[in-house]
Every structure is written in structure tokens, then in C-alpha cells.
Chain A
């Protein structure tokens, strides 16, 4: 099916509206739907995200007068300005130094997730490993409950109980 707007691309967004009992159908391609504000691009390119990283930051307040983008990691010297250009961080410590700034970016690139779940190095030790797995499961449980996915929630609750 062709897009009703540009008559060029294939329509992938199909909208049915019922107003006062009248049913109207709209068929648009992704680009036209986005232009009309009907669809959002689900995957935002990293570069776009990064360009908003600096602009969206609250102004630095109080004793620390260094602008956010110039704040440098004491270990590697990386700044947010440089990161937003190169898309790579300078050292593992950057994740702590810039945690607040990186968090929204991490969340958006990972479908809302902000906590690791999965393999942990053996050096982490069984107790900490358990805590990591538990934290991840509890977070998944929250999401399941919020979305009213009760079967998933029950399964997760069992998993948590077994781990504890």
C-alpha cells in the first residue's frame, strides 16, 4: 500500500480514527508519519542523542562554577564536549564522573534499562553476583507489574524467591 501523503513510499503506519461515529483511515510511510507527529522513530541515532546531551544539562549551580561540558575526568581528562564529538569515553571511571549526564543516554539506547543483568566476572564473588541478579530481577518485576503482565510478574517473583 502506498503512502497517501508522498505517494512514493510504502505505507507502514495505519491509523484508524473514529470521530462522531465516522471512521477514517490514514495510511502513511514512516517519514510522513513522523513529519505529522504520528509516529516516533524508535531508534534515535547516537549522534542525535549526543548532541542533546550537552544542551539538555541543567546549569551548574553553587560552588562548582565549571560549565558541565568542560568538567573533566580527573583520571583521563575526558570532557562531555569531547565525548559528544567522538562518541567514546576515556576510561571506566567516566561512568561515575559523568553518571548523571550519561544516565538519560544509557536509558534511551537500552530500551529504558539502566541496570546490568547477565554474566558477572568470577572476581565479583557469589554474594555480590547474587545481589546484581536480584536487583535486575526486581527491576524487571517492577516493569512487568507496571505493564500489568501478571504471568511474567509471577515468574519473576518465583525467581527472586529462589535466589534469596
Chain B
């Protein structure tokens, strides 16, 4: 698999239908594991990092499903960025040093990073609210790998991780939510408060450290010790997320009923700017695309398919733009090229 080949297409799974996909964009489950007998990242020499790669890569490539291996240390910086924009590797893996890699499923709905913060981080993705399916997949792969290697495990603390915040199950469950209704009706603070009460973290669309832009929020668990994997998942799928979906739906309904002109104005202006801008930053584009996405889902915009918007989320990002242009672009050139890509995608004809 060549990273450059990915840039012209969106992630294959993102446009498949998923439950509640108009609000829950995607689901992700990640497991963190470390090899027994090996130091954690801060104390690993390059030699030991190579040994870990030599143990884990063949284990991953001999699974019952085909994975493609990419040597993250060797590829170009822009290719690393591209993989991160597609959620196949983390920003930390982009910035990382030394021998490290990633094994990726062809559909891009599974990836396993080697030598990130932990020796092995496996993650499965699905569109809409499908955390159970993600857990099953990643768990089944974990079972297969465990037949070949020994993971660091402690009878009291469970799976040992480099950072104590991932200790125990090593599970991180997250959903990407689109909540423009709650934002526009001034109820988004309730969502933050509820997340806090449930010990959940809210982040921007691009993970750790990213700001929330365009009403996209990533919600994830923080407690990984003392709660079984299935319980973390069922908390999300049965209790937390359905409530949020219900409130967001109600908020959208309120908007349509109580201030249809205000909503229409906002949505149509957003579409107008996207269709006509000659320079646009990724931040502005995300904010406007968020409004257009809302317009499509509440039946105020008919001629645009939601898949077009989903695709743009990938294509308007810096590495995707540069790969598509076939050369490196400075920020001004990117704003210009981004506007061009968006105009083409959303043109009425």
C-alpha cells in the first residue's frame, strides 16, 4: 500500500451507512498493549524498537485478514500527515522518532501502530454508532496476536501501559459527534457538563489537543481500569450516546419549528460561501461544511449528498491537498487550492 494512492479517495468506510450516522459520524475502539520483557517508549533504544517491530510486524501480517505494512519512519513527512488525516495513525505517531510502523486494513477500518506511546495500539473504525462491532473486531485480532506474543500483564493492574491513564483494559472508546443543533440552541454546555459527570473526555475532531471546530466533538472514556471492555462499550451505546442523539434531534426539530428562516439563512449562506470562495482556511471550511451537513440532514438542502461532504472533510486537509496537487503548497496556496476543490465538489451543475 502506497500512501500516495490513498489521497484521491476518502476512507472507504466513511460513506457506508451506519446507525444514527446523521449525528454519530463514526465509532472507534482502541486497545493498547505492550510486550513483556521490553521497556516502555521513554527507555527504549532504537535497537530494542527494531526488535519490537520484528516481533509485532509478522504477527500482524499473518492474521486471518490482510493488512498492509507501512514503515512510518521511512515515508515522507507529508505521507505521515496524510495517514493521520485519515485517522490511520495518531498525531503522536507522526511526530514520533525512531523505528515505527503501522499495519492497515485495505478498507482502512483497522490499523495497528507499532512503537507509538505503547508498543502496540490497535484500533477499529465504523461509520455511525457501531462500537460493539469495533470492539469485536479489535478484540478478535488481539486474541490472534496473543497466541504469538506475550503482553505485559499484572494480576492487579491488568494490561500495563506506558501511561497509567491507559492501564487495565487499555481500551479507548470514542465516537465522533456532529452537534450543530445543541450548539445553535445554546445547549452545548449541557453536553459538556454531562460528559464531565460521566468521566468522559470531549475533544475536537482531530483528537488530543485539537480545538473543537464546526460543531464536531470527539467523546471518549477516560477510565480504563476496573471496568470491563464490554461495559465501557455498552455504557456508550446504550446509555450515553442515545441520550445525546435524542437531545440533538430534539434541538434540530426546535430549530426547524421555531426559527426556520434563521436556520435556512445560515445554511444557505454557508453553501453560498463554499460555492464561491476563492480563498478558504480549513477552519472556515469546516465550520461552513458543518452547517451544510446540518442542512442536508434536516431536509433544507436536497441537491448535495452527504457523502460529498464527508469526502471533503478528508480532501480539504493540508496533506491531502498537497498530495492531490502533487507538490508542496504554502498556506496561502493551500487556501486557494482548497477553495477550488470545494467549489468543484459542491458546484450546482
Chain A positions near chain B (C-beta within 8 angstroms): 10, 12, 30, 42-43, 46, 75-78, 82, 86-92, 94-96, 102, 105-106, 109-124, 128, 131-132, 135-136, 139
Contact = CB atoms under 8 A, between A and B. Distances in A.
A118 B165 contact: no
Nearest to A109: B165
A102 B164 contact: yes
B42 A90 contact: yes
Given A87-B163, A123-B153, 12 more contacts: A88-B41, A88-B162, A91-B38, A96-B154, A105-B164, A110-B168, A110-B225, A113-B223, A116-B156, A116-B226, A124-B155, A131-B155
A156 B230 CA distance: 16
A15 to B, nearest CB: 15
Contact of A88 (B117, B139, B151, B168): B117
B43 A76 contact: yes
21 contacts: A42-B199, A43-B196, A76-B43, A88-B40, A91-B38, A91-B39, A96-B154, A102-B164, A106-B225, A111-B199, A112-B226, A114-B157, A115-B226, A116-B157, A117-B226, A118-B228, A120-B158, A122-B146, A123-B146, A128-B155, A132-B155
Chain B, interface size: which category?
35 or more
B117 A117 contact: no
A88 B163 contact: yes
Contacts of A110: 167-168, 223-226
8 pairs of A and B residues whose beta carbons are closest in the complex: A113-B226, A116-B158, A118-B228, A90-B43, A110-B225, A92-B152, A76-B43, A91-B39
Interface string B158-179: 1110111101110100000000
A124 B199 contact: no
A87 B160 CA distance: 14
A114 B226 contact: yes
Given A109-B164, A128-B155, A132-B155, A86 B150 contact: no
Counting chain A CB atoms within 10 Å of each CB, the highest count among B34, B160, B226, B228 belongs to B226
Given A10-B189, A110-B167, A121-B146, A95 B39 contact: no
Contact of B223 (A10, A30, A111, A132): A111
Counting chain B CB atoms within 10 Å of each CB, the highest count among A46, A113, A116, A131 belongs to A116
